[in-house]
């Protein structure tokens, strides 16, 4: 039983952390021919697919989501869905796209999906296809991958390594990598896809392989496997899975596979997605994410100068984190000046202000968050006349907070 890491093993932790951060945040183009070979091997050995299926590469998670839905309809031809699609899509287009998929002409498939299909297929069709794609991929891929590889690796590591060793590696490798790769890049990109697809993506959490953005998990288990020399019952399967580490989103089916290219640019500041001049995550086809200090925001907030931003954005925004970034960019003094702020009460780092919203005047609580050094402004009940009343109303308690959260 392993109860403690050696000095040599402890020193190796930073190597694995940095190695997997580099992989998880990579913007290098995928070697497509090599990736196809590796996918076919994985597809055969893990998923049991003996056929070398067409592998289609596309430029972003948004476009592979569109293409996957469309290709599913074309390939598997559910009668209800197909009949609705066929009534709106010319049969010649259908045959052309099928031919293009088989010949792996990526740019033409993308063009057909975007310009000739998606705008014509109504929400009912999309929702029907969504449920089928989700169940198809979950049952075909995830159950096999996780039952044959991940779950056994997890149980084996836990049974052979005590919690204190696992937590040490986790905190310095898996969690540090995942906080930047998983919680920042992957989650914001997925949220952006969902918002552009009318939030339909929200119902499927893991109906695909998310390889590049599983860097935190891969790093953790690679350390256990190599440095602690834990020989896995499914070592071959694990090696095949980790051999795909440089790929991004992958949608695998029995008859085809769609893979997204990695981002072309990723901008971060202090481990958080951040770019004041453009997208923080950008893909080759123009899809991407705007973020400030780790918060996904609108293009308008990033690309509009502070002087031109309307302070009224603050009172219209319901998300506290986005509101904080609006205040941070515009500047608290300018916000107060533009909204004719009048101080009603002060207490420590709090001020209760009356702000002129144009059609009404109402109280807002101005607060300094000491952990990040920025101000928040939150609306409080109109009956609040003091900071203490505002804090009690905000926290639904008679006790004032020691630290603003």
Confidence at 106, pLDDT banded by 50, 70, 90: very low
Confidence at 145, pLDDT banded by 50, 70, 90: low
**Tokens at residue 255, please?**
């008859």
List the chain domain ranges.
Answer: 7-265, 266-303, 312-319+328-395
Question: Which uninterrupted H or E stretch holds 152?
Answer: helix 151-160
224: closest CA among 179, 171, 166, 177?
166
Instruction: Please check the confidence at residue 217 and state whether its pLDDT lies above 60.
Output: yes
Q: Higher-confidence residue: 265 or 398?
A: 265
Contact (CB, 8 A) for 71 and 132 = no
358: closest CA among 329, 376, 338?
338
pLDDT, mean of residues 8-17: 87
SS3 percent helix, strand, coil of the chain, rounded to 5, is 55, 15, 30
Confidence at 297, pLDDT banded by 50, 70, 90: very high
> Residue 199 class from Cβ within 10 Å (0-12 exposed, 13-18 middle, 19+ buried)?
exposed
Q: How many CB atoms lie under 10 A from the CB of residue 216? A: 25
pLDDT, mean of residues 57-70: 80
Instruction: Please check the confidence at residue 116 and state whether its pLDDT lies above 80.
Output: no
Q: Give the per-residue pLDDT at 245.
A: 93
Name the average pLDDT for the chain: 75
pLDDT, mean of residues 98-103: 45
Instruction: Please check the confidence at residue 201 and state whether its pLDDT lies above 80.
Output: no
Instruction: Please check the confidence at residue 78 and state whether its pLDDT lies above 60.
Output: no
Q: For the whole model, what pTM was predicted? A: 0.71
């Amino acid at each position: 039983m392993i109860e403690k890491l050696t000095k040599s093993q402890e020193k190796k932790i930073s190597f694995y952390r940095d190695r997997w951060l580099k992989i998880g945040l990579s913007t290098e183009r995928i070697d497509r021919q090599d990736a196809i070979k590796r996918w076919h091997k994985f597809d055969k050995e893990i998923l049991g697919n003996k056929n070398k299926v067409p592998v289609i590469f596309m430029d972003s998670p948004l476009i592979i989501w569109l293409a996957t839905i469309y290709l599913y309809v074309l390939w598997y031809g559910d009668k209800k869905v197909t009949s609705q699609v066929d009534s709106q899509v010319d049969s010649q287009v259908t045959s052309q796209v099928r031919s293009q998929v088989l010949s792996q002409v990526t740019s033409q498939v993308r063009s057909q999906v975007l310009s000739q299909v998606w705008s014509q297929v109504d929400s009912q069709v999309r929702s029907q296809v969504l449920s089928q794609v989700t169940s198809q991929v979950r049952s075909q891929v995830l159950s096999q991958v996780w039952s044959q590889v991940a779950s056994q690796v997890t149980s084996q590591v836990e049974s052979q390594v005590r919690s204190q060793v696992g937590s040490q590696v986790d905190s310095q490798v898996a969690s540090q990598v995942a906080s930047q790769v998983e919680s920042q890049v992957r989650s914001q990109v997925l949220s952006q896809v969902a918002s552009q697809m009318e939030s339909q993506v929200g119902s499927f959490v893991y109906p695909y392989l998310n390889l590049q953005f599983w860097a935190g998990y891969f790093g953790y288990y690679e350390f256990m496997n190599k440095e602690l020399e834990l020989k896995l019952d499914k070592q071959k399967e694990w090696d095949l899975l980790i051999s795909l580490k440089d790929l991004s989103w992958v949608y695998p089916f029995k008859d085809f596979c769609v893979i997204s290219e990695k981002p072309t640019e990723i901008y971060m500041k202090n481990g958080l997605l951040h770019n004041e001049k453009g997208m923080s995550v950008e893909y080759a086809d123009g899809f991407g994410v705007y973020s400030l200090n780790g918060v996904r925001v609108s293009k308008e907030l990033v690309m509009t100068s502070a002087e031109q931003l309307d302070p009224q954005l603050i009172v219209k925004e319901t998300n506290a984190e986005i509101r904080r970034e609006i205040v941070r960019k515009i500047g608290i003094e300018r916000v107060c000046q533009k909204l004719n702020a009048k101080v009603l009460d002060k207490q420590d780092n709090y001020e209760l202000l009356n702000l002129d919203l144009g059609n009404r005047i109402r109280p807002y609580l101005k607060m300094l968050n000491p952990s990040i050094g920025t101000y928040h402004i939150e609306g409080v009940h109109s009956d609040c006349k003091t900071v203490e009343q505002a804090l009690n109303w905000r926290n639904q308690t008679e006790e004032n907070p020691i630290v603003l959260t």
